[in-house]
């Protein structure tokens, strides 16, 4: 019988790509979904898998629903991707972020421990936990110094995963993922904000793009590559934590240049730096060292940043055209 996996955050970028990846490997895929009035399953539709994923009603802040989801799914692998994941929102809603991004990890770990303690557990950690960097490049031994309520909440979930692994012998691993993007990225994130603006400006639907610190540097990869690393972690005999990154860093400015050049525009004619979009506590540079993942998991990124940005711009060009046709 095929393996059964439960994905929280299945309707997000990573959840959709992971569901697609696992389905291709013959898994029975179950996804936790909090029912909302708005359409949250569009990413699953874009990947053509909406009808192949068994959606289970539940909420990350409701332990009872997580216990039911574990029982209904019979999951042997649990991928905990659900979170309030937009950094800017975490300053506006710090308590919500603490509950949904931090305390919810305790809920999910408890649900796994109560229903099937032998199930393998993946926690979606983040490079934002490094924040005010303590080393030129960050690996699994680099000290953490989060600079946002989101990073602090993620750090709680990360250390709790380590604690449950050491306290209860659970096969619990964390992936410390650096920035990973795709055409399925939410429009509120800077990469989609840039690629969507390039498409709209090219098609005469927008005149300028306002951004904050365009000299911030990030280690950007393709989400479709990164979900394989999540799966590989749960196939290891021993659970552990891994940095997943490209090992290369690029400024937001350079990313804008790539995106606008792809549609024959000069970003300098359209991008406006707006102080309103600067973070209260800025993270200037994040650069991951994925050596451990390469050596122990055999994982490495496959998609170069220019190819990723081109993929995203092309997808947004199609979306903007479709809007005009409606």
* C-alpha distances in Å from residue 197, one per residue of 179, 205, 309: 20, 9, 13
Six token digits for residue 154: 């993620």
- SS3 of residue 306 by DSSP: helix
**Active-site annotation, residues:** 126, 128, 150
* Spatial distance between the Cα atoms of 127 and 283, rounded to a whole number of angstroms: 10
Q: What pLDDT score does 298 carry? A: 98
Domains of the chain, with CATH numbers? 4-180+220-244 (3.40.50.720), 187-219+249-284+303-325 (3.90.25.10)
* Spatial distance between the Cα atoms of 257 and 90, rounded to a whole number of angstroms: 28
Nearest Cα residue to 22 out of 8, 37, 3, 39: 3
End-to-end CA distance of the chain: 45
* Spatial distance between the Cα atoms of 133 and 111, rounded to a whole number of angstroms: 34
Give me the tens of pLDDT residue by residue for the chain, a chain 326 residues long.
Answer: 569 999 999 999 999 999 999 999 999 999 999 876 567 899 999 999 999 999 999 999 999 999 999 999 999 999 999 998 878 888 899 999 999 999 999 999 999 999 999 999 999 999 999 999 899 999 999 999 999 999 999 999 999 999 999 999 999 999 999 999 999 999 989 999 999 999 999 999 999 999 999 999 999 999 999 999 999 999 999 999 999 999 999 999 999 999 999 999 999 999 999 988 887 776 778 899 999 999 999 999 999 999 999 999 999 999 999 887 65
Neighbouring residues of 69: CB distance < 8 A, sequence distance ≥ 6: 6, 30, 32, 56, 58, 111
CB 49 within 8 A of CB 11: no
CB 32 within 8 A of CB 82: yes
Q: Fill in the DSSP letter of residue 267.
A: G
| DSSP per residue, 198-226 | HHHHHTTS-S-EEES-TT-EE--EEHHHH
Neighbouring residues of 285: CB distance < 8 A, sequence distance ≥ 6: 133, 216, 217, 249
- SS3 of residue 293 by DSSP: helix
| DSSP per residue, 50-75 | TTTSEEEE--TT-HHHHHHHHHHHT-
């Amino acid at each position: 019988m095929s393996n059964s996996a439960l994905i929280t955050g299945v309707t997000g970028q990573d959840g959709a790509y992971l569901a697609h990846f696992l389905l291709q490997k013959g898994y029975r895929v179950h996804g936790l979904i909090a029912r909302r009035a708005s359409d949250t399953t569009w990413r699953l539709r874009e990947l053509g898998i909406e009808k192949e994923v068994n959606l289970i009603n539940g909420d990350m802040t409701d332990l009872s629903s997580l216990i039911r989801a574990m029982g209904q799914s019979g999951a042997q692998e649990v991928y905990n991707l659900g979170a309030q994941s937009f950094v800017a929102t975490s300053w506006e809603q710090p308590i919500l972020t603490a509950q949904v991004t931090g305390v919810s990890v305790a809920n999910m770990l408890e649900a796994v421990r109560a229903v099937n303690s032998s199930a393998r557990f993946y926690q979606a950690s983040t490079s934002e936990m490094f924040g005010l960097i303590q080393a030129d490049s960050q690996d699994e031994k680099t000290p953490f110094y989060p600079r946002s309520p989101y990073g602090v909440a993620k750090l709680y979930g990360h250390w709790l995963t380590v604690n449950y692994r050491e306290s209860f012998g659970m096969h619990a691993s964390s992936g410390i993922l650096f920035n990973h993007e795709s055409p399925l990225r939410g429009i509120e994130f800077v990469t989609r904000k840039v690629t969507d603006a390039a498409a709209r400006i090219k098609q005469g639907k927008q005149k300028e793009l306002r951004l904050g610190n365009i000299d911030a540097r990030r280690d950007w990869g393709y989400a479709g590559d990164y979900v394989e690393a999540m799966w590989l972690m749960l196939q290891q005999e021993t659970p552990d934590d891994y940095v997943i990154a490209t090992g290369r860093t690029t400024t937001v400015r350079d990313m804008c240049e790539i995106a606008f050049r792809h549609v024959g525009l000069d970003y300098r004619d359209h991008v406006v730096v707006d102080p309103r979009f600067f973070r209260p506590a800025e993270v200037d540079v994040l650069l991951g060292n994925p050596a451990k993942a390469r050596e122990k998991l055999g994982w490495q990124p496959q998609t170069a940043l220019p190819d990723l940005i081109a993929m995203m711009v092309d997808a947004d060009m199609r979306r903007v055209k479709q809007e005009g046709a409606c």
